[in-house]
Amino acid sequence: MMNDMTKIKHHLTEPLLMGYAAGTLPEAFNLVVATHISMCDDCRAALAGYEAVGGEVMMDTAPVDVAEDALAATLALIESGKFADKPARVRTKNSVFPGPLQDYVDGDIDSLKWRKVGGGVSQLVLKTSKDASVRLLRIPAGTAVPDHGHRGTELTLVLQGAFTDSEDRFGAGDVEVANEDLHHTPVAEEGLDCICLAATDAPLRFNGLVPRIAQRFIGI
């Protein structure tokens, strides 16, 4: 748990929190939401509210009869031990990668197999369901990510360092939610390399010719 994360300024949006609570988001977005919430008590509390709404929606539905032997079958299932609690995977404290992300990456910043994507920027694509994609980005301090627009929604969560774009400054714990209207050129601040977790439900669209060609090969 990071205790110096009290200054988070950019939070998750209502549709994201509601979608996570309802279980309707792509896995890649769920990963960004769960990672941000691990760093942000405000959004954790807000999520609890959306989950409470979900509970009341469920309570409000017309009940559907269960099988006659459902209770007996459930007790048998419990006795079988098939649904016994599995021990959770051990997570490292004070990593740059909060718990949910540790389940997706094997190692720490310097031991990961980063792939260069040009301009000094490296990425590591994480394996998730195909309805959206998510990657770690490593942007060297002082470097700009090529100007790009978006077809769908792009979530960028800062894990270390900070970047600034036309919208604002985004530091550790901040999440930028960008849609089709935003063309931006994020620039990493001096100091630590900027490490971000970025998810999108459509391919990014780079404006310069070279990045766009590169895009076909590296699959940004």
Q: Which residues contact other proteins by CB under 8 A? A: 1, 14-15, 18-19, 21-24, 26-27, 30-31, 33-35, 37-38, 44, 47-48, 51-67, 70-71, 73-75, 77-78, 82-85, 91, 98-101, 103-104, 128-129
Closest to other proteins by CB, 15 vs 219, is 15
Min CB(19)–other proteins separation in Å:
8
Segment 52-57 long-range contacts (CB within 8 Å, at least 24 positions apart): 53/18, 53/21, 54/21, 54/22
User: Which of residues 103 and 147 has its CB atom nearest to other proteins in the complex?
Assistant: 103
Angle subtended at Cα 52 by Cα 49 and Cα 54, rounded to the nearest 5 degrees: 115
Minimum distance of other proteins from residue 140's CB (angstroms): 27
**Considering the complex, what minimum distance in angstroms separates the CB of residue 220 from other proteins?**
22
CA-only gyration radius of the chain, Å = 20
Residue with smaller CB distance to other proteins, 145 or 178: 178
What's the min distance (Å) between Cβ of 217 and other proteins? 28
Give the span between the Cα atoms of 142 and 139, in whole angstroms: 8
Least distance from other proteins to the Cβ atom of residue 96, Å:
14
Query: Cβ closer to other proteins: 52 or 210?
Result: 52
Q: How far is the CB of 187 from other proteins (least distance, A)?
A: 29
Which of residues 152 and 208 has its CB atom nearest to other proteins in the complex?
152
- Alpha carbons 15 and 13: distance in angstroms, whole number: 6
Which residue, 34 or 177, has its beta carbon nearer to other proteins? 34
